[in-house]
Chain A
Amino acid sequence: MGETLRLHLWQHGIFLLILFLVLAPLAFLILGSFSTARLPGDFSLDAMGLVNYIKVYSDPGTFEIFSNTVIYVAGSTALALALAVSLAWLVERTNMPGKVLVYAGVPMTLAVPGMLQAMAWVLLLSPRIGFINQLLKDIFGPETPIIDVYSLGGMVFLEGLRLVPTAFLMLVPLMRSMDPTLEEAAAVSGARPLSTLRKVTLRLLAPALVAVMIYQAMTALEVFEIPGILGLPAGIYVFSTKIYAIVRTATFMPVYGQANALAMVYLFIAVATTFFYTRMIGRAERYAVITGKGYRPRQLDLGKWKIPALGCALLFLFLSIVLPFLVFLYASFLPYLQAPSWNVLKALTLKNYRLLAEYGEVGSALKNTVLMVGATATATVVLSFLVSLVVIRSKFWGRKLLDQMAFMPHAIPGIVMGIAFFWLFLKIDFLPLYGTIWAISIGFTISFLAYGTRSMNAALLQIHKELEEAAYVSGAPPWRTMWRIFVPLMMPTLVGVWIWVVLHAVRIAGMPLMLYEGPKNQVLAILIWNMWDEGYVPAVAAIGTLLMIVLLLLTLAVRLLGFRRQTMQIGGT
């Protein structure tokens, strides 16, 4: 019985920790939405009311943006999911050649700031200066209908491309550890590859797909870079740009209350979707594919479809990585922004790279970044793993609530989250966190928890209970079960989440910008953000180019080390 008690203590511990971590920004969001005080700091229970809600939701503009937002979010999520599932399936479940290109290429865009990528597409597809449009006109004559990136279609396309890497990283480990017996059974019964994919593979993956979908739809709903750069010139507003506009409307003292009131829609969606998701995974055993039986994942023979499949994968890589990368590379050598021509070649310069080396404070920024990113990624992986273990594997009374809480930070817009933490660390000054990289690290860990737990939940669902039951019967204590069963089996997911967090922590600066202070905790993200804020495209392009190259090397290295080991483990059982 002592065992059970300890088990419960442990679960309560996780529950309370998450409650504490999530409650602070959440309370800030909810209370702030009712607060009528100008500054977050002036918050008082006396100055509360529905003013913000009335103001925001009585604005006819709010409903005008509604249909845009639905099209944009649904479109980009659907596109991303279709692409990610196809790519993950091709590399994990088929014998398509050239897989390494996909593994290494897809995550590359993760480290590139959305603004930069949007700029690349402006340079490619703007109706006036877009390179592709110019080319089309040169070839087919000036009357050729042009592709306008400043449109809802352009936004869906680009955000769709941007959502692929995250979905891909979530799906790959799940596809990898799937017992192929069922697929083989389908194949034996004469099902064709596509219908096997539809009727077997996708159904088994349903909880994961739903998790990815919910997560990505939230991301699309929240991100304002793409709608900001591509939607604004065309007068197309969506929810996120509206929130951004409200926060920025009063440059002299933003009205956070109204932004919070609008952001409550996010929270509502998050709660509703996670509720649905929790009900779905209630019958978890149906989805377990990793059982005690030994198996070797076998790959489907694509036959004559091998080359066309590779062609499609390469087309995706070309659109989402090669093309923008070429634009960055080109822009990074420019003295000033201009469309490509022969004259440009003579004026190319290395100045932008020298600028980075000179002003980057590269030394301290690099050390801080490595520290911050390492701590964040490790904390996120450990915490998400423990949370998911409770959510999926225990009968703990608060597991559903715990799952909700872990997802909620993703529903809080980064800008609101940043201010919440800024205020929190300012208030709890008995802890020397304010203005340190640890403040950034804590903030990041909480906001990445949503991604971490979505991935881990899905991965844990795949592991059949018989494995831990076997361990339990043989008398292994819970921590040992965790260490010997779950950790090795979930290694691809753990590694995947770790990398994902690293990539995001390097790139996103909205929050650290509020939290850092001075060069002593300068991180790369802030440097990038500062450069962007200064708005000099060639300089930002130089950063983008370098980041993509570093990332390519990193993913290649991880793939060579981490994933190969995993294949041996599963294959050798």
Chain B
Amino acid sequence: MKQTLLEVQDLSLRVGSFTLQEVSVQVHKGDYVVVVGPTGSGKTLLLEAIAGLIPLQEGRIIYDGRDITEESPESRHFGFAYQDSLLYPHLTVRENILFSAAVRGQADSPLIRQRLAELAEAMAIQPLLERRPGPLSGGERQRVSLARALLLRPSLLLLDEPLSALDPQTRAGLQKLLRKIHRDDEVTLIHVTHDFSEAIHLGTKMLLLKDGRVLQYGAPKELFSQPNSEFAARFLRVDNILSGIVQRKSRYSWFCTEKSSRLYGPLPEKVLEDWKVGIRGVLAVRAAHIRMFPEMNAGEVREGECSWPVMVIGVTFHGSYVEVACEGDDPWVIHISLAEWRSFPVARGERVWLACMLRDLHVIPCPAVIHDDR
């Protein structure tokens, strides 16, 4: 079992209009936690609270089994890097990286010099060491900022949207670097981001915040395939969200949509464990989880799938995939690969069938009236 490194217990605080309320999170050694949430949800505030930069109003922070709630930021020894790198303009790149060692009077020690050389090589910043940070590019600045945070080998690295201001190519390079740091340096990371592909690519855990509260915490795949609220589903960009109700029919549970009364299912048995029949909710299905096939093959439904007919009402190319908008009893959006598209290029007005694995029919409950016709 993985060892717990950081435990945030019922953390509450308020700074201006930003709040965190009863936030509890457990981070294990070696985790890469990505924190996502809308603007103003308290992501940066959470990082700053963990770093000790903001005093808590309530709650505790346990680090490596020790209560560090009252400890000052300088005694926590966490690495921290902000979005805009925040290098010190009056120091050279070398002095910036050595800053934490200089504060402790160790900047000239052989171990630190060796560490600087290692970092400079890993971050590919050797030619920049004697320069001032002013004229550096965004990617270079961010690499220097990471090197500065990593100099004294912190076991926890806190990153506040470090890649968001960079161009896609530089961002991809730094994502690779972060994965390498996570893997090779055995650093536990908490990384605030608003980029979902970055979150999926880097994170081993994902924390979704809304209005200063934890909405969901788990593996990124779990959050993406099984969001626990309609907000989470919408925020995590689930394309098909239909309101309706779960009904019991022929010993199975089905999702009956509000708009069409069509039944989708039978729903996986797990749904029944999670919530009761008759409660209103939404059916959330990712566009990529739906396949499309010609009307003439309507009988070829695979095992464990449910299928339904629709008409194509729009086709949009997105470079790496094609988005097909359909209208049947309910509106549907699906994403298909270019290869699939080439073998089955549909046009507006064409009738097709859609199919989805039953396990991908994700139902999210919301409180309502009981309805059961058993």
Do they bind each other? no
